[in-house]
Amino acid sequence: MAALLFLAGLVLWYQMSAFLAKQSIPASSPEFLSLTVLIAVIVLLLLTTVVILTQRYLLHRVHLLVDYVKGQQQGLVRQPPLTLLKNRDDIALLTGEIHSLLEALKQHNETLREQSLIDPLTGLGNRRLLEQRLEIALPMTRRRMVPLSILMIDVDHFKAYNDHYGHPAGDTCLVEIANVLRDTFRRETDILIRLGGEEFLVVLLDSDEGPALALAEAMRSMLQALGIPHASSPSHSIVTVSIGVATAKPGTRIDADSLIACADAALYQCKAQGRNRILGRTVEGDLLAR
């Protein structure tokens, strides 16, 4: 920019000198010098004004672009200002590229967030999702004075199934069980989780032990009706599950770990009694069998 101004000044000075020479005004005369200085000042002011206006225009658009990026980071805006896009210049091109990159990054982050909460095999939630949901659900159920039940589900003799049929068949079996869970627990508030391996967990908000046990039995029966062969099972010829149910009565003060431990204890008793059954407990410890 400085070089262009200098060159423009030289050109104007040359043109001015040639003009004054044609007017027969001596270069050494006071009139010539005064006129030269006046013209130089006017030219300089004009050039300075042009530079300032140009910089302000460009800087204004750059500031708009920076504000747009900051707004995207804070989740306040989705689209760039039209002022940045109306001219077909480098700033408009840069704005479009930044917008595309930010949208792609946002989508990628959303995908990563979903993947961090979802079990990739079954599509159910994982432990992280369980922790997030229970952190909200437990205080809410206490405030509303409603019950909450948790179902701990374990596939009977699943290691033997994997050893006999292979891990790909085992994965297919787990997907089938996840589908049965979806068919059984359909409320929007039901939380379906794969804890890992062959263990699943279901959280039922506003569900006392009676409805929770009924749903657990429905799920167990539905899976049994599928009749997935299990030739290596020592207890049944098909794939079955054992389900421990833990219920917190309205207003009960209990943390997530204690509630899960209660359901796990009921599940342990299911296995001790022969598997392929359901067993329920309340968090106070009295046993509810079915």
* Residues marked as catalytic: 198
Per-residue pLDDT of 15-41, as tens digits, reads: 666 665 666 656 566 666 666 677 777
pTM given for the model:
0.63
* Element (DSSP H or E) covering residue 87: none
Q: What is the pLDDT of residue 167?
A: 94
Domain annotation for the chain: domains and CATH numbers: 2-111 (no CATH), 127-289 (3.30.70.270)
Question: Is the distance from CB of 216 to CB of 245 less than 8 angstroms?
Answer: yes
Q: What is the pLDDT of residue 4?
A: 57
* Element (DSSP H or E) covering residue 254: none
Residues of the chain whose pLDDT is less than 70? 1-36, 51, 53-58, 75-77, 84, 108-115, 284-290
Nearest-10 Cα torsion for 56, 58, 61, 67: -80
